[in-house]
Amino acid sequence: MSGYTIIVFIIFLLITMYLGYLGYKNTKSSQDYLLAGRKTHPLIMALSYGATFISTSAIVGFGGLAANMGMGLLWLTFFNVFIGIFIAFVFFGKRTRRMGKALDAHTFSELLGKRFESKFIQGFAAVLIFLFMPIYAASVIKGGANFVQTYFGIPYSVSLLAFVAVVAIYVWMGGMKGVMYTDAFQAGIMFIAMVVLLVTAYANLGGVTSAHIQLSELFSNPVIQEDIAKSVAGGFQGWTSMPKSGSPMWWSLISTIVLGVGIGVLAQPQLAVRFMTVKSDKELNRAVLSGGIFIFSMTGVAFIVGALANVLLFQKTGQIAIVAANGVNDNIIPLFIKNFLPEWFSSIFLVAMLAAAMSTLSAQFHTMGSAAGRDLYEKTLERKGNSLVITKSATLVVILISTAIAWAASGLPIADGIIAKFTTIFFELTTAAFLPVYVAALFFKSIPKAAVKGAMISGSATWFFWTFFVHSNASYMQICKLLTGKASIVMETSLEKLSMVGTTFIALPVSTIVMLLVWLAYAKTGKSDLDSKHINKCFGSM
C-alpha cells in the first residue's frame, strides 16, 4: 500500500467526520435528527437518495453479476432511473412530503401508521425493518470491512470495528443532517470514480463501437466455450444479448433482479423518508435531473464495465472474468481495477467503495434506529421520555446488533455475491409488505385499515415462504434444507421450475389481491374504519 493511498484515505475520513460534526452542530430537535428539519437542499437530497440507494452491491456485486449475465442487466438501470427517480420523485415524493407534513410524520412507518390511524401498522412495519434490515446492513459492513482489510493488511476484526465506528459516530451524533451531508460528499467521490472507470474501459478497447463488437464476438470464441457451457445451458446467449426467454437465467434476471430491485426501490423506508426532508415540491422537481444522472452513472457504468471486463481480462490472461476471478463475482470489478487502472486511481476507487458502503450503511443505521426508537418504543409501546435520546439510544442498539452479525461471520469467507443477494432479498420484502400499502396510503382515500393490515401480513408471510422454501436464490441460507433436506420444497417434483420464479412475482400479487378483497368486502357493507375528517386532513394538500 502506497503513501498516496494513506493520504487519500486520511483526507476522506477527516472530511467525512467534519461533515458529521456539522450535522451534530445543527441538530437541535428530534425533527432535525429524523428529517433534517425538513429544509434540505434539493441537490443534497438527490445525492443522499442516490448514495443511499447505491452501495457496494451495485458497483461490485451487481457489476460482477453483469460480467456473467451481460448487458441485459442495463434494464435494471432503466428501472432504477425511470421508477426509482422519475416515478418516485414526481408521483410518490410530492404526496409523501405533503402527507408527512400534514400528519407530522417523522419516519416511513409513522407515515403509514398515522395515515391509517393504526399503531399496529406502524409497529408491524417497524418490526420488519428492525428484524431484517440488520442482516442487510451486516452484509454491507462485511463488504466495507473486507475492503479495509485487503488494502491496509490489518485483521478483519480491527477493520470491521474501525469501519463501523466511523459511520456510527456521525450517524449517532448528527442524525439525518449528518447522514445527508456525508452522503452528498460520498456521492461526489463515487460519481468521479465511475466516470474514470467507464472512460478507462472504453479507451482500453478502442472506443465504444469497437468495445461492443469485441464483446459480442467473444461469445463465439472457441477458447472459452468450456468456461461458458454451464451458463449457455442456463440460457446465456452472449454479453450483448438477453438470456433465452423462459430460461433459468432469464427468470433470474427479469423476475428477481430487474423487477425485484427495480420496483422495490419505491418501497424502501430509508429512501422514502428523504422525500419528507425538503420543504416544497419545487425542491423535488429540481432533484429529479441530478438524481437521475447520478443513478444512471452508478448502475449503468458498473454493469457496462462488468461486462466489458470479460474482453479486457481475456486479452490479458486468456480467461473470461469469472474464471480470472477464481469463480467469485465480487472479485471481478476489483480485479479490473488492479489490472487496468493506474495506482493513483486504485486509491480513489478504494475511497469510492468505502463511500458507497458508508452512505448506504449510515442510512440503514438511521432507519433502523428510528424504527426501534420512535416507531416501536415511543409510539407503538407508548413509552415516555426524551424523543431525541430514545432514538439515539435505539440507533446505538441496532448498530451493535448489525456489527455482532458481521462479527459472527468473521471466520467465514464472503459468500459469492452475498451483498447483491441480500440487497435483492430485502428489496423483495419491502415490495411485498409495503408497496401496495404505500400506494394505497398516497392515492386512495377509501382504503380501510383492515385491508392494509391484510396486505402487510400476507405479503410478508408469502415473501418469507417463497424466499426461504421455494426460490433457489436463497438456498445458500440452508433454512429449507435444514428442515426438509432439500434446497427447495419443489425440487425433484413436477413443480421444480417454480424455484426459478422471483419472490416479487408471487408475493406482490398476493398482498395486492388480499388488500383488494378486504377492501371490496368493506365496500359492500358501506362501512369505513377510518374517520372522514382524518382522511380529509391526509389529502387536504394533495
Query: What CA–CA distance (Å, rounded) separates 357 from 34?
Result: 21
- 379 with 122: CB under 8 angstroms? yes
- Kindly state the cell numbers that stand for 306: 462488468
pLDDT for position 383 = 80
- Kindly state the cell numbers that stand for 25: 452542530
pLDDT for position 129 = 93
Query: What CA–CA distance (Å, rounded) separates 202 from 57?
Result: 23
Give me the residue label for grid cell 461533515: 19
In whole angstroms, how large is the CA radius of gyration of the chain?
23
- Kindly state the cell numbers that stand for 419: 451483498
Query: What CA–CA distance (Å, rounded) separates 349 from 321?
Result: 19
Q: Which residues of the chain have pLDDT under 70?
A: 1-3, 28-39, 56-57, 146-147, 150-152, 173-176, 387, 409-420, 473-477, 541-542
This prediction has a pTM of 0.85
- 343 with 4: CB under 8 angstroms? yes
CA 250 remoteness from chain centre: 22
pLDDT for position 494 = 85
For 16-71, the pLDDT digits (tens) are 888 777 777 777 666 666 666 566 777 777 777 777 777 766 777 788 889 999 99
Q: Which residue type is seen at 328?
A: V
In three state form, how does the secondary structure of 250-313 look?
Answer: HHHHHHHHHHHHHHHHHHCHHHHHHHHHCCCHHHHHHHHHHHHHHHHHHHHHHHHHHHHHHHHH
Q: Which domains does the chain have, with CATH numbers?
A: 3-424 (1.20.1730.10)
CA 304 remoteness from chain centre: 19
- 240 with 216: CB under 8 angstroms? yes
Q: Is the dihedral of CA 233, 237, 238, 242 positive or negative?
A: negative
Q: Which residue type is seen at 377?
A: Y
pLDDT for position 414 = 45
Query: What CA–CA distance (Å, rounded) separates 195 from 340?
Result: 15
Q: Which residue type is seen at 198?
A: L
- Residue 347, Cβ neighbours under 10 Å: how many? 20
pLDDT for position 212 = 94
User: Which helix (H) or strand (E) is 190 found in, with range?
Assistant: helix 156-204
- Kindly state the cell numbers that stand for 514: 388480499
Tell me which DSSP letter residue 29 carries.
S
Query: What CA–CA distance (Å, rounded) separates 151 from 157?
Result: 14
- Residue 177, Cβ neighbours under 10 Å: how many? 27
- 36 with 184: CB under 8 angstroms? no
pLDDT for position 493 = 84
